[in-house]
Each structure stands twice: as C-alpha cells, then as structure tokens.
Structure 1
Amino acid sequence: MSKKYELYDVVDGKIVRKNPECVRCSHGIFMADHGDRYACGRCGYTQWKNE
C-alpha cells in the first residue's frame, strides 16, 4: 500500500502532485512512475515519457 504523503511535495508553500492522475479513472487515482513511463494500476493505461 502506498503512503499518500509520498505522492505530494510542497513548493513555495503550495501542495504539488509528484505523479500525474490517470486520464481514464476518476480524480485521486495516481499513475505509477516506472522510469520511462507512467502506468495506472487500476485500468492499465500507460503514458510514455518524452525524454
């Protein structure tokens, strides 16, 4: 189980999400960072990074 506080960061006094949310699932479903891509564990959607 993930620790929710690890998915956020504080920058200039504001809360910023580290990982993007899934475009298919509802708000609050974060995508996992796998180095070269982001993947949703709920629906399987994959978004490749452009590095």
Structure 2
Amino acid sequence: MVSRYKYYNVEGDKAVTDKKNCPRCGAGVYMAQHKDRVSCGKCGYTEFNN
C-alpha cells in the first residue's frame, strides 16, 4: 500500500498537495514532477520548465 503522507501535507485542519493537477484530465489527476518537466501519466500532457 502506498503511503498517502508523501502526496499530502497537513496544514491546520486541511490536507494540501504540492503536486499540480492536469489541466486536461481535471481535479484528482496529478502530474509527475521530473527534473526538466511535469507530465501527466494518464493523457501524456507535458509542460517543460524554463
């Protein structure tokens, strides 16, 4: 089982995520953070860092 603690941070009464949501897939689908880009594993959407 994957630990949820590496996906969320607890701030007061709320659980907040550091990861970006995919603009195509919507809320709940997070983008993977790579060294030079962020990408969605579901649809393949990619944004490159400057």
Is TM-score (shorter-chain normalized) higher than 0.5? yes
Shorter chain as denominator, the TM-score bin is 0.7 to 0.9
What stretches of structure 1 move > 3 A for 4+ residues in a row? none
Question: What is the RMSD computed on CA atoms of the aligned residues?
Answer: 2.0
The answer to whether residue 46 in structure 2 is matched with residue 20 in structure 1 is: no
Identity of aligned residues (%): 46
| Residue-pair matches, total | 48
Higher strand share: 2
Between structure 1 and structure 2, the one with the greater Rg is 2
Provide TM-score, normalisation by structure 2.
Answer: 0.73
Q: Gapped runs of 5+ residues in structure 1?
A: none
Provide TM-score, normalisation by structure 1.
Answer: 0.72
Counterpart Cα distance in 1 of 2:37 and 2:9: 20
